[in-house]
Amino acid sequence: MAVTTTTASEVCEAAKRAALDLGSASTQAKDAALAAIARLLEERAPQILEANAADLADEHAGGLSDALRDRLTLSAERITGMADGVRAVTALEDPIGEELDHRTLAAGVDLRKVRVPLGVVAVVYEARPNVTIDCAALTIKSGNAIVLRGSSYAERSNGALAAVAREALGEAGLPEDAVQLLAGGGHEGLAELATQDRHVDLLIPRGGEGLKAALKDVATVPVIFAAAGNCHVYVHADADLEMARHIVLNAKVQRPGVCNAAETLLVDAAVADEFLPAALADLHAAGVELVGDERARAAVAEVEVGAATDEDWATEFLDLKLAVGVVDSLEDAIDHVNRNGTRHSEAIVTGSQEASERFTAGVDAAVVYTNASTRFTDGFEFGMGAEIGNSTQKLHARGPIGLRELTTYKYVVRGDGQVRE
């Protein structure tokens, strides 16, 4: 069984042993395991869907929002998409062993800097079972073991998917313990995982600010936060307004329950009266609840726009809700984004190269877009095959966390008897 009732310490210790073997595995062996995962996903689709249906029917999932239920729900198409994602990772170049630097020191010693796996990566995540496969694929390809801790309301789905990954590893002659699924355990279990610094080399939490705060209080393991995405779209005075309508609608409604969906629309005062009536009518027709500042509300008579609170500007709704504000300048937009954003993904719609450059330079975010939807912040879209999360930090990874972000390096030094004088 992939789901275990053993302690976090025992699970992480087993993963550490597996990481030592997997870290030296050949590209061919790792690719064989990934090919087996893709094949088994398609072969076991009925059983995976049965497990997912049981999760959706369980009382644990009863209080989930529509957006979270969408994230939890699997379908034949989504399983096929997972398999395709694994194949995309397989096709990527293996980063392990890549030579980053090579030189001869003054003493005649040969020095090479080469890419190596991190070791054991732990991921804490919520409703999306596909994360189980995305994470397993990326860590296997990059030579890392992984400890997965999903939410209780996806336990059956995650168990079925982790079992596929473990079986595939065994088929390829690699250690099955390189993929571990840890049962819930609440805050105590989370704290136990976050303090496994003897065995875990990196912890990546995928969740909101509550999860981030809980880990900051206890973690002794290095953490990269794949945290909240309070993303903005700013419509500049020089924007193509028809283009802006399409971008705003896509950024909000294409999949509202994910971290790269837009949560706030900012519009320059010079175009607010012209742009907002049609744009907010589009959003209202798509079922979006709108809240706004006084100027945004005054610009629209036909669509109901509630009064935005201070909290709304700083909230990742993960649902069909959008805050709308009118700003007087590009500088005001940049200031609003930097005060309220989460450094995830921000967009400007403009025909001005100068405005684009100023926004890009001024906004502190992992990804900054000009004339494109924030929904592109994704490892698959960025050509990484998949992602293990989107980092909102600056060390050591930022944006989508792919294969190379799951590696470090070591210096390999060869001499012929040199000693330091």
The answer to whether 290 and 308 have CB atoms below 8 angstroms apart is no
Question: Domain range spanning residue 314?
Answer: 231-376
C-alpha–C-alpha distance, residues 313 and 336, integer Å: 9
C-alpha–C-alpha distance, residues 364 and 372, integer Å: 18
C-alpha–C-alpha distance, residues 108 and 348, integer Å: 53
C-alpha–C-alpha distance, residues 78 and 292, integer Å: 35
Residues 219 and 236 both lie in one domain: no
Residues 78 and 186 both lie in one domain: yes
pLDDT, position 257? 85
C-alpha–C-alpha distance, residues 190 and 211, integer Å: 10
According to DSSP, residue 112 is labeled: E
According to DSSP, residue 412 is labeled: E
Measured in whole angstroms, the distance separating CA 122 from the mean position of its chain's CA atoms is 14
| Residue 413 confidence (pLDDT) above 80 | yes
Q: Which residue has the higher pLDDT, 206 or 295?
A: 295
| Residue 386 included in any domain | no
Residues 71 and 195 both lie in one domain: yes
Residues 6+ apart with CB under 8 A from 285: none
- Residue 17 banded pLDDT, cuts 50, 70, 90: very high
AA identity, residue 408: T
| Residue 192 included in any domain | yes
| Residue 421 included in any domain | no
pLDDT, position 212? 81
Please compute the mean of the pLDDT values over residues 342-351 and round it to a whole number.
97
C-alpha–C-alpha distance, residues 44 and 164, integer Å: 8
Residues 144 and 211 both lie in one domain: yes
Model confidence over 297-306: pLDDT tens digits? 999 989 999 9
Model confidence over 203-224: pLDDT tens digits? 999 877 788 888 888 999 999 9
| Residue 5 confidence (pLDDT) above 70 | no
Residues 144 and 210 both lie in one domain: yes
Strand partners, 409: 115
| Residue 2 confidence (pLDDT) above 70 | no
| Residue 329 included in any domain | yes
Model confidence over 57-114: pLDDT tens digits? 998 788 888 878 888 999 999 999 999 999 999 999 999 999 999 999 999 999 999 9
Weakest mean pLDDT among 216-230, 289-303, 323-337, 369-383: 216-230
pLDDT, position 184? 65
- Domains identified in the chain, total number: 2
| Nearest residue to 317 (alpha-carbon basis) of 400, 250, 247, 258 | 258
Residues 222 and 252 both lie in one domain: no
Residues 367 and 397 both lie in one domain: no
| Residue 384 included in any domain | no
Residue 295 maps to which CATH number?
3.40.309.10
pLDDT, position 64? 84
Residues 183 and 271 both lie in one domain: no
CB atoms within 10 A of CB 218: 14
Q: Which residue has the higher pLDDT, 186 or 15?
A: 15
| Residue 382 included in any domain | no
| Residue 140 included in any domain | yes
Residues 219 and 242 both lie in one domain: no
Give the count of alpha carbons within 13 A of 46, CB side only. 1
Q: What is the CA radius of gyration of the chain?
A: 23
C-alpha–C-alpha distance, residues 354 and 269, integer Å: 19
Residues 58 and 202 both lie in one domain: yes
Residue 204 maps to which CATH number?
3.40.605.10
- Residue 27 banded pLDDT, cuts 50, 70, 90: very high
- As a whole-number percent, the residues of the chain with pLDDT over 90 amount to 83
Residues 32 and 177 both lie in one domain: yes
| Residue 111 included in any domain | yes
| Residue 1 confidence (pLDDT) above 60 | no
Residues 235 and 220 both lie in one domain: no
pLDDT, position 4? 46
Model confidence over 125-179: pLDDT tens digits? 887 899 999 999 999 999 999 999 998 889 999 999 999 999 999 999 999 999 9
Mean of pLDDT over the chain: 94
AA identity, residue 29: A
From residue 408, how far is each of 76, 98, 99, 165, 368 by CA, in Å?
A: 36, 11, 12, 24, 26
- Residue 365 banded pLDDT, cuts 50, 70, 90: very high
